[in-house]
Amino acid sequence: MTSNVQSLKDFLAGPGRIALVEVAGTKGSTPREKGAFMLVSRQAIFGTIGGGQLEYMAIDKARQMVAFSPGKRQRKGGRIEVDEVGATLDVPLGPEIGQCCGGRVEVLIRLVDSALAAGLVSAAEVEEAHLPHVYIFGGGHVGQALASTIALLPVRGVVIETRAEALEGMPETVETRLTPMPEAEVRNAPAGTVFAILTHDHALDFLIVAEALKRDDAAYVGMIGSKTKKATFRNWFLKSAEGTDAQFARLVSPIGGDAVKDKRPQVIAALAAAEIMTALVLRNAAPSADRPHGRVMAG
């Protein structure tokens, strides 16, 4: 499994000088928040500060800095200062640059030295360690599609299967686990985990869902299936699994909702991923000291 931290380390280890482009301040409506950053070398970029003309301007200025010869000084286009130490862009997001956000962004650009590189890696490691976990039970068509979708999101994806062949071809950024007892993985999952249950066996689905619903710290418990399957599970859960109505009420089934009548795996995965991210965002709406963002703030 590859990670964002490893990708960052690989970029920082690349050839030539690298510049850090960071949102140092914002006013009004802006593409990204304070602390968002990207890295720029002569050949490539890592990350984004929101795209559009603002980002193009920042990339151009960063590449000027990467190729800058000490002793020169430049001024042009609004309040822009560039020298061998750093650059500051104070950019109104209006028609003059082809954007209509209406806000204002201050961008700080610095060359990356060893200390700054170490700080970036450390912050990324902290952020990655606090990413929410998304456990996908089942590597069938929908499981494969959901794994590919969440691989693009700021979560730690884990696909759990009883069949080795079903784990083949998963995205590199998603962890895979082969186990004869997937329900045991629920008991050992971190607090705040998302559980998406979509195995090839309804009886196995029921066992996994029952374990997940008995964890009151789960961020989301979803099961693929029909209304009939959900009703069947409810009867079994209350009568045979010692579940309660309050626990059952937390079950999301079918995953992704039933407003869109499309059963193609990729569509189900997209809808379920949106549902999962909504649950995670709402759960974490109030930031706390034990959930650091891990960004490198301008100073």
As a whole number, the mean pLDDT across the chain is: 88
pLDDT at 299: 41
47 assigned to some structural domain = yes
Average pLDDT on 235-254 reads: 96
Contact 205/214 with Cβ under 8 angstroms?
A: no
Please report which residue ranges of 49-159 form alpha helices under DSSP H. Answer: 52-66, 114-129, 141-150
Question: Given 126, 154, 184, which residue is the final one in a domain?
Answer: 126
% pLDDT > 70, the chain: 86
> Lowest mean pLDDT: which of 64-73, 119-128, 200-209, 233-242?
64-73
* Three-class SS state of 149: helix
Q: What pLDDT is stored for residue 291 in this prediction?
A: 47
Contact yes or no for 84/70 (Cβ under 8 A): yes
Query: Quick check: is 254 in a domain?
Result: yes
The confidence score (pLDDT) of residue 259 equals: 87
Q: How far lies 104's CA from each of 34, 69, 134, in Å?
A: 11, 30, 36
Q: Looking at 104, 126, 148, which one is the last position of a domain? A: 126
**Band (84; pLDDT cuts 50, 70, 90):** low
* Residue given tokens 């626990």 in the structure block: 247
What separation in angstroms does the CA of 155 have from each of 4, 131, 132, 194, 240? 11, 5, 5, 10, 34
The residue-averaged pLDDT of 187-203 equals: 96
pLDDT exceeds cutoff 90 at 100: no
C-alpha–C-alpha distance, residues 249 and 238, integer Å: 12
Domain containing 115 equals 4-126
What CA–CA distance (Å, rounded) separates 249 from 34? 38
Domain with 187 in it: what CATH number? Answer: 3.40.50.720
CB atoms within 10 A of CB 33: 12
Q: Which tens digits make up the pLDDT trace of 267-291?
A: 999 999 999 999 999 987 755 544 4
pLDDT tens digits along 216-244: 999 999 999 999 999 999 999 999 999 99
How many domains are contained in the chain? 2
Q: Looking at residue 76, what is its pLDDT?
A: 46
